[in-house]
Amino acid sequence: MSVYVDEGFRPCVTESATVAFRVCCDDRAQVFEVSAEALVTFCGAASTRKQDLLAAFEDAQQDILSVAAQEWRFVPTEAVRLGLDEFRMVRH
């Protein structure tokens, strides 16, 4: 199963302080959101400022993809949220 970030959908910080991005798996695409807490705690974001969250997302993209792959469930109408609990389950 090939899982990668869709380059056609630019990661962005949402109003709810998450970084939204689209992951492709085989021939399907799913939107995921990583919480600011998870980016600070597990991905090294310096703060919850937009620039810091996006920089941490870029730096930890492979780790984030491994969590997304574990949490993959194809629901085209809603985003799958990745928070502290999802990172803890995969990383520990």
Residue 20 has pLDDT above 60, yes or no: yes
**Which carries the bigger pLDDT value, residue 34 or residue 72?**
34
Please give the pLDDT value at position 69: 86
pTM recorded for the entire structure: 0.85
Please give the pLDDT value at position 72: 80
Domains detected in the chain: 3-91 (3.30.160)
Q: Quickly list H helices, the chain.
A: 36-43, 50-59, 61-70, 84-91
Token pair for 39: 């980016």
> What are 24-69's pLDDT values in tens digits?
988 889 999 999 999 999 999 999 999 999 999 999 999 999 998 8
Please give the pLDDT value at position 91: 60
